[in-house]
Structure formats: structure tokens, C-alpha cells
């Protein structure tokens, strides 16, 4: 009897438990209820941190009870989103002048309902009225967006209405689940999640919370996610979920529900950039002042946008840099300017704080990284030079304080550019044997491309203090291996899906150049430490020297590296070949002559010494064609005349690639005009320019406004690809045989062209 009672009790408990999760919904037609949903995702990694927050309010109305179950109207009257790529957005505000597609979609869901059919157990059977919503989304997008690629936007709208975000929330509301806590451990790491769910007597969700954390064994990466769904109680004066969302979205306590002032600034800035000549700067300054008057001092999102505008309009950048906390700054140029001020003030805490913000900030969807030119110049040139040479006591205190902070920084990406620099400084000060062997034990570390600069400097120091050859050789070999590994990584990344991205197009050439310089420097040192393989290592050192295009495009970077790691004199690269391989010696002299045209006479005399019966002109012309690419083109100028480069074969043709949009180009156009006029009678030289990404009307307006007369050809977009133009302005010199060479950026191109014109080329 006891056994039956015990089992009967167990059966009753099981029945009640199962029925709790399989009970039918009991809903009334016309009934309306609301839910709030909040999701907060956070990821922390050694190289970066990030977060995403989204709040939704959902209204559900039972339209009818039918045979299948219930037809329910679903609206999403409010959405608040924070995405590090696109900032904050609240559907309580009007749409900005250039909304992103997902903002349009969320905005339309505020007042256009979708209808879902569910069965009596809460399963979603279908979603109705999708076509109407998709049509409305596309109509709205066409108002705001230049629809040059309609297919992509149509697919995006179709995907959105196929599975709008709130459907998963509706599934959770109507379809009961169990509360549970679970922990999963495997080779990758550990996952812990906890789900807590409560339902009301009608089978509807009352409260739902989900918390998960993922930690990885192999690194300090951590991902966490929190989701909350709460039945809205209209008797409550304040929504706890909305309050929680505000805490995530507005940490300074100022809740900005109307970002329209920020968008007005955006619109003014866009108008300023598009119509600089139509209104004076004073006009825009007055418009901005009118907006400023109504903005509270703690609306930092607005003042952050004002900071960005101040880069282009007005003279209040200094005041605004002090007014806006670093944690609200999002523009990388502003942050780099702030970082520069922190460095000038020798404020180690502020410098680290701004640096941290830089690495955890996204600007226009592009991640801030160490390869940004301005940041690169500040850290790896100005900071590094002063850290290596300063004897000022205040500056030394700053560097010591910053070093102590950076060594304990959680974000290893921030510390990366500084670690080997400070290792070298510490070693050169103390000559500590223990530190030497610590560096040797960690010699495979590559924190950034500049790691190898300081490791080569460390190697030179080890040789200077006469550490044993066996130790220095091992260290140098590890440097060579490390650089070669890094080059493979860069090449494999560049070959991936992002190889056409702005980042790779702009910064990969610089990365490749730096690694080539370091390899050349390492091989030159190897040739000195390995007499038996001296010639082989010298040859490798020659092969990895910067080529002509790199010297033309990245001459400043080469000069900067030469300040830290003085290059070997040219004779170093010629010595072994001169004695052992005359042809290789002449080829190396030719390559040097292309970079330094005054070596032409030396090359000629050396050729005649080694080949008394040879024809130098024939040799030189064949070598030029071997080393330099050729190009020919036909283009129309902005007045309608045609130019064919082949019609000018036998002449030198100087070309300047520019555009009226190019801020760096315009200041030197007066010099280009003077250069053209001074060579109009020169039968051996033709001076022309090519306008890129520009319109004839812009050129006409610019030329007539400045009374310039130099020829301007309109680019067809192909000539830049043929000549591998990657930045503006760029200057080329086409030689009489149709080959061409780039002229180094910031060089005295008039003097350089004069030197090349002394060559005898056929």
C-alpha cells in the first residue's frame, strides 16, 4: 500500500510538471499585452573589448480565436540600439537624414503590424502580411538611400521580414520552456548558462532571464550575454527593464532621447563639404552656435559630434577637447589629437586612458588599429625617439610611470607597441645579464611590426657589450625566423576575404616595406657574423632593400626607420659582388642609378672598365626595360582635345595625378602651372596632369578661378590601375622609351627630372 501511495504521488507530480509545460493557452479576443526585451552582449579579448545592447518593446493584440488557434497582431513600438559600429538609435526620435537600412526597418515596425498565427500550444504556424511590410521598407529606403545596388537592399528587406527579430521573442512568450542551469566543459573552454522562466495561469510568459558566460582555456577571451523578457505591468510607474537599458546605454546619467541636434550637425558638415564655395565658414559657424545654445553641458554625445565638426569648421577644438570626457570620444582623429596633448602634458594616466579608448572605439565601422598613420607617427616615431633619447627628469618619470602601467595592462593590444621598446631601454640602462637571457627566452614574441626594429637594436647592443657570439647568433637567427613568419601571416591575411578592403590596400604596402627593411637589416648583420656565407647573406640583404616604387610612395617611412636603424652605405651592398660577380655588380649599380640618377656616370665608367668592347647605351637601355614597367594611354582633356602618349615617344613626359577634391594636391598646383609654363618651349619634356575621380565642370571652375593653363587630362580609371597609383598626389616620369618611374613623394621633382633627362635613352 505504501508503495502504491508513493508511486501514485510520483505520477501526480510528473503529470502536473508535464501539464505545466504542455498546457493550452487561454487567451481572449481583443486582449492586449506588452513585453520588454533587453539583450546585452559583451566580449573581452586581449586585443579588444566590445559590447552590443538592444532594447525592444513589443505589443501583442489577440485579433481573433480561430480553429487553428489565435491570430495575433504584433507591433514593436520602441527600439533602442547601441552598436559600436553605428552608435545609439532610439525609434522615439525621428529618422536621421541618412538612416541605415536596419534603422528604417525598426522604425516601420513601430506602426506597421505583422500578424502571426499560433496554435493552442503556442507554436507559431505562419506570419502574415510580410509582403506589405517588405514593400513599405523598400519604399522608405528609396527615399533616403542612393539605390545603386537595389538587389542587395531587396534581399536585405526580404531576409528581415522572413525572420524579424521579435519572432524569437514571441516563440519564448507563447511556447513554454524549462528553467535550468548548465555547465559544459571541453577542450576549448567552459560554458555556463542559467535560464530562469516564470509563466502566468494563462500559459503566457511572465518573466524570462538568460545569462551565459564563455571562457577559453587557451586565452583570456571571455564572452557574456544577458537576455531579459518582462511582462509589462501598466501599474508600474517606471519600467525596470527600460531603466536597466538606460544604465547600459547612458552611463553618465544623461538620457538623450532626441539626437536630432547631432544629426543637424551631421547635415551641416555634409553641406559644408559639398558646397564649400557657396557659403562662407562664418555662415556655418553661426548655424552651429544656434544649436549649441540649447544643448546641456552634459549631453556628451552632442559635444562629441561638435568635436568632430570642429576639425573642419570653427576654432574651438581646444575648448571642446577639455569639455568632452575621453569615454565619449569616438572619432579617431580627435582621440589621436587628445593622445598627443596627453603626451605633451606628460600625463601617464591620461595617455593610457586615451590609448585604451582608441583601441576600443570604432569610427564609421572601421576598427581603430596601430596601422593608422597618425597614431603610428605619434607612438612609433615621436614617443619612441623621446623615450630612447630624453634625459629630462620629468620626461623620464613619465616614461617610467607609463611603463609600469603598460606592463600590467589587461588589454595586450594596447601594450604591444611598447613592450620591446621598453625592454631595449631597460637593457641598455642596466646591462643586466638576467634581463638578456629573459629577452632571449622570449625572442619569438611579435607584438607589432615594430618589435623587430627594437630587437635589431637589441642585437646591436649585445654586440656592443661583446656578449658571446653563440648567444648573439641565436638571437639574430630568432629575429630572422620571426620576421619571416610575420610576413607569411600578413600575406595569408591579405589573400583572405578582406584583401580588397581599404585597410589592406592602404596599409599592406607599408607593412611589407617595414618587414623588407628589417629583413635586409638582419641579413646584412648576418653577413658580418658569418664570414663563410658573407656573399650569400649580402645578396639577400640587397634583394630586400626598398624598390623604386616603395621609395617613391613611402620615402618618409624609410627615412624614419633609417633614424632608428641606420642603413648600410651603398658600397656595403656592392663590395662582394664587385669582386666575385661583375654582372651582378653592374645590375646592382643600375638599380641604384634608377633611384639616384647621378650614378649614371659611375655606371657608365664601371661598365666600360669591365666591358671595354661593349656598347653601354645598348646595355643601359636593355637594363632600364628590364627594371621599369612601360605604359601608354589615350585620354581626353577637360576641354575635349585628345592626348596619345605614343605621339610623344622619344620625349620625357612628366605627369601629376591630382583632383580638385584632394586637399594635399591643391597647394602645389601653382608650382605645377609654373613648371608647365617654364617648359612649354622644351622639345624634350612634356608636362601634363591627370585629374582622377573628378568632373569636367569642377576642373573648368578650378582652372578659370585660378587662371591656370597646364593641361588636364580626365582619367578613365584605367590609367591609375596601369601605373598602380594608390594615393594622391602622385608624380610619374615617362621615359623616351615608354618605360616609367614614380617620383618620390615630397621630392624636388624639378631637380630630379633634370637629372633623369641627362640619361641617354632610346
Chain mean position to CA 513 = 19
Residue pointed to by grid coordinates 545603386: 148
CB 713, CB 637: distance < 8 Å: yes
Mean pLDDT computed over every residue of the chain? 81
Res 576 pLDDT > 90:
no
Nearest Cα to 105, choosing from 139, 128, 72? 139
The two beta strands, 634-636 and 642-644, are antiparallel
| Per-residue confidence band for 255, with pLDDT thresholds at 50, 70 and 90 | low
Over residues 1-10, the mean pLDDT reads: 45
CA–CA dist 573, 584 (Å, integer)? 11
Please compute Rg for the chain using Cα positions: 34
- Tens digit of pLDDT for each residue in 542-552? 888 887 777 77
Q: Which residue has the higher pLDDT, 151 or 737?
A: 737
pLDDT digits (tens, 9 = 90+) for 360-369: 654 333 344 4
Residue 385 predicted with pLDDT over 70 = yes
> Which has more confidence, 210 or 339?
339
Residue 417 or residue 347, greater confidence: 347
Cell of 621: 637601355
Q: At what angle do helices 502-529 and 451-464 cross, to 10 degrees?
A: 10
Q: Are 525 and 538 in contact (CB under 8 A)?
A: no
| pLDDT at residue 159 tops 80 | no
Q: In what helix (H) or strand (E) does residue 103 lie, and over which residues does it extend?
A: helix 101-108
Q: Where in 144-296 does DSSP place strands (E)?
A: 180-185, 189-199, 205-216, 222-231
Is 371's pLDDT higher than 90? no
Of the candidates 441, 489, 432, the residue with the CA atom closest to the CA atom of residue 462:
432
Local structure of residue 637 (DSSP, 8 states): B
Q: Specify the higher pLDDT residue, 188 or 381.
A: 381
Considering only residues 321 and 162, tell me which one the structure prediction assigns the higher pLDDT: 321
- Is 277's pLDDT higher than 80? no
User: For a pLDDT cut of 90, what percent of the chain falls above it?
Assistant: 25
pLDDT value, residue 585: 84
Least confident of 394-398, 541-545, 606-610, 731-735: 541-545
Rounded Cα gap, residues 290 and 293, in angstroms: 6
pLDDT digits (tens, 9 = 90+) for 44-60: 655 455 667 888 888 89
| pLDDT recorded at residue 499 | 47
Q: Which residue has the higher pLDDT, 143 or 533?
A: 533
Q: Above 80 in pLDDT, residue 103?
A: no
Q: If you search the block for the grid coordinates 527600439, which residue do you land on?
A: 79
**Residues in CB range of 52: below 8 A, 6 or more apart:** 39, 40, 41, 82, 83, 84
Please measure the distance between the N-terminal and C-terminal CA atoms of the chain and give it in whole angstroms: 116
Q: Reply yes or no on whether the pLDDT at 154 is more than 70.
A: yes
**Residue 669 above 90 pLDDT?**
yes
Preceding omega of 700 cis (within 30 degrees of 0):
no
To the nearest 10°, report the CA torsion of 146, 151, 153, 159.
170
Please indicate, yes or no, whether the overall pTM of this predicted structure exceeds 0.85.
no
Q: Which residues are within 8 A (CB) of 310 and not within 5 positions of it... i.e. 6 or more apart? A: 316, 317, 320
Closest listed residue to residue 760, CA positions, set 597, 607, 633, 552 = 597
Q: How confident is the model at residue 517 (pLDDT cuts 50, 70, 90)?
A: very high
State the pLDDT at residue 20. 44
User: How much is the pLDDT for 252?
Assistant: 57
Long-range contacts of 215-222 (CB under 8 A, 24+ apart): 215/189, 215/190, 216/188, 216/189, 217/187, 217/188, 217/189, 217/190, 218/188, 218/189, 219/45, 219/46, 220/44, 220/45, 220/46, 220/410, 221/43, 221/44, 221/45, 221/46, 222/43, 222/44, 222/45
- Mean predicted confidence (pLDDT) in 653-669: 92
pLDDT category, 244, cuts 50, 70, 90?
confident
Give the pLDDT score at 17.
43
Contact yes or no for 727/747 (Cβ under 8 A): no
pLDDT of residue 208: 86
Lowest-pLDDT range, 155-159, 222-226, 253-257, 581-585? 253-257
pLDDT at 439: 65
User: Domains of the chain by range and CATH?
Assistant: 32-231 (no CATH), 431-566 (no CATH), 581-625 (no CATH), 634-756 (3.40.30.10)
Amino acid at each position: 500500500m505504501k508503495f502504491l501511495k508513493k508511486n501514485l504521488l510520483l505520477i501526480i507530480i510528473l503529470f502536473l510538471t508535464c501539464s505545466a509545460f504542455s498546457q493550452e493557452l487561454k487567451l481572449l479576443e481583443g486582449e492586449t499585452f506588452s513585453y520588454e526585451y533587453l539583450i546585452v552582449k559583451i566580449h573581452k579579448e586581449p586585443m579588444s573589448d566590445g559590447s552590443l545592447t538592444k532594447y525592444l518593446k513589443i505589443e501583442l493584440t489577440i485579433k481573433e480565436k480561430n480553429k487553428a488557434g489565435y491570430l495575433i497582431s504584433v507591433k514593436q513600438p520602441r527600439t533602442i540600439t547601441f552598436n559600436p559600429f553605428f552608435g545609439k538609435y532610439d525609434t522615439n526620435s525621428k529618422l536621421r537624414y541618412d538612416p541605415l537600412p536596419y534603422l528604417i526597418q525598426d522604425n516601420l515596425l513601430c506602426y506597421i503590424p505583422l500578424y502571426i498565427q499560433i496554435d493552442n500550444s503556442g507554436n507559431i504556424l505562419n506570419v502574415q502580411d510580410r509582403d506589405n511590410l517588405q514593400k513599405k521598407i523598400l519604399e522608405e529606403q528609396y527615399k533616403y538611400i542612393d539605390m545603386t545596388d537595389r538587389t542587395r537592399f531587396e534581399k536585405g528587406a526580404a531576409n528581415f521580414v522572413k525572420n524579424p527579430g521579435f519572432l524569437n521573442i514571441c516563440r519564448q512568450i507563447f511556447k513554454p520552456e524549462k528553467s535550468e542551469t548548465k555547465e559544459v566543459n571541453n577542450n576549448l573552454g567552459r560554458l555556463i548558462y542559467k535560464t530562469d522562466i516564470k509563466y502566468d495561469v494563462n500559459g503566457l510568459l511572465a518573466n524570462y532571464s538568460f545569462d551565459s558566460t564563455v571562457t577559453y582555456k587557451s586565452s583570456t577571451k571571455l564572452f557574456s550575454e544577458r537576455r531579459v523578457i518582462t511582462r509589462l505591468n501598466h501599474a508600474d510607474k517606471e519600467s525596470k527593464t527600460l531603466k536597466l537599458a538606460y544604465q547600459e546605454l547612458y552611463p553618465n546619467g544623461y538620457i538623450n532621447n532626441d539626437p536630432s541636434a547631432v544629426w543637424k550637425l551631421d547635415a551641416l558638415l555634409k553641406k559644408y563639404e559639398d558646397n564649400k564655395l557657396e557659403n562662407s565658414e562664418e555662415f556655418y559657424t553661426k548655424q552651429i552656435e544656434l544649436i549649441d545654445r540649447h544643448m546641456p553641458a552634459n549631453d556628451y554625445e552632442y559635444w562629441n559630434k561638435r568635436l568632430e565638426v570642429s576639425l573642419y569648421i570653427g576654432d574651438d577644438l581646444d575648448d571642446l577637447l577639455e569639455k568632452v570626457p575621453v569615454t565619449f570620444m569616438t572619432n579617431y582623429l580627435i582621440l589621436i589629437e587628445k593622445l598627443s596633448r596627453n603626451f605633451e602634458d606628460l600625463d601617464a594616466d591620461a595617455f593610457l586612458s586615451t590609448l585604451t579608448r582608441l583601441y576600443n572605439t570604432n569610427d564609421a565601422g572601421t576598427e581603430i588599429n596601430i596601422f593608422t598613420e597618425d597614431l603610428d607617427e605619434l607612438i612609433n616615431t615621436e614617443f619612441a625617439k623621446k623615450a630612447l633619447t630624453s634625459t629630462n627628469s620629468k620626461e623620464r618619470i613619465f616614461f617610467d610611470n607609463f611603463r609600469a602601467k603598460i606592463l600590467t595592462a589587461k588589454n595586450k593590444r594596447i601594450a604591444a607597441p611598447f613592450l620591446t621598446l621598453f625592454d631595449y631601454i631597460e637593457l641598455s640602462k642596466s646591462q643586466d645579464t638576467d634581463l638578456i637571457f629573459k629577452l632571449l627566452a622570449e625572442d619569438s614574441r611579435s607584438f607589432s611590426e615594430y618589435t623587430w626594429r627594437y630587437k635589431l637594436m637589441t642585437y646591436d647592443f649585445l654586440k656592443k657589450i661583446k656578449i658571446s657570439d653563440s648567444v648573439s647568433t641565436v638571437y639574430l637567427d630568432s629575429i630572422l625566423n620571426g620576421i619571416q613568419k610575420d610576413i607569411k601571416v600578413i600575406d595569408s591575411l591579405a589573400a583572405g576575404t578582406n584583401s580588397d578592403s581599404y585597410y589592406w590596400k592602404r596599409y599592406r604596402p607599408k607593412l611589407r616595406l617595414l618587414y623588407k627593411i628589417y629583413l635586409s637589416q638582419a641579413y646584412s648583420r648576418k653577413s658580418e657574423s658569418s664570414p663563410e656565407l658573407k656573399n650569400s647573406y649580402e645578396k639577400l640583404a640587397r634583394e630586400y632593400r626598398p624598390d623604386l616604387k616603395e621609395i617613391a610612395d613611402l620615402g618618409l617611412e624609410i627615412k624614419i626607420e633609417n633614424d632608428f636603424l641606420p642603413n648600410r652605405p651603398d658600397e656595403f651592398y656592392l663590395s662582394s659582388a664587385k669582386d666575385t660577380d661583375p654582372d651582378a655588380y653592374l645590375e646592382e649599380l643600375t638599380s641604384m642609378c634608377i633611384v639616384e640618377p647621378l650614378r649614371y656616370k659611375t655606371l657608365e665608367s664601371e661598365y666600360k672598365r669591365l666591358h671595354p668592347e661593349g656598347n653601354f647605351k645598348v646595355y643601359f637601355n636593355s637594363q632600364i626595360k628590364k627594371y621599369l614597367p612601360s605604359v601608354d594611354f589615350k585620354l581626353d582633356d577637360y576641354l575635349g582635345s585628345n592626348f596619345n602618349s605614343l605621339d610623344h615617344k622619344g620625349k620625357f613626359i612628366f605627369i601629376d595625378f591630382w583632383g580638385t577634391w584632394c586637399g594635399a594636391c591643391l597647394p602645389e598646383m601653382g608650382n605645377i602651372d609654373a613648371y608647365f609654363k617654364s617648359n612649354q618651349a622644351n622639345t624634350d619634356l612634356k608636362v601634363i596632369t591627370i585629374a582622377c575621380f573628378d568632373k569636367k565642370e569642377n576642373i573648368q571652375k578650378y582652372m578659370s578661378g585660378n587662371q591656370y593653363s597646364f593641361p588636364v587630362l580626365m582619367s578613365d580609371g584605367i590609367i591609375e590601375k596601369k601605373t598602380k597609383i594608390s594615393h594622391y598626389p602622385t608624380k610619374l616620369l615617362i621615359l623616351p622609351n615608354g618605360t616609367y618611374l614614380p617620383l618620390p613623394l615630397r621630392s624636388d621633382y624639378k631637380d630630379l627630372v633634370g637629372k633623369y633627362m641627362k640619361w641617354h635613352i632610346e
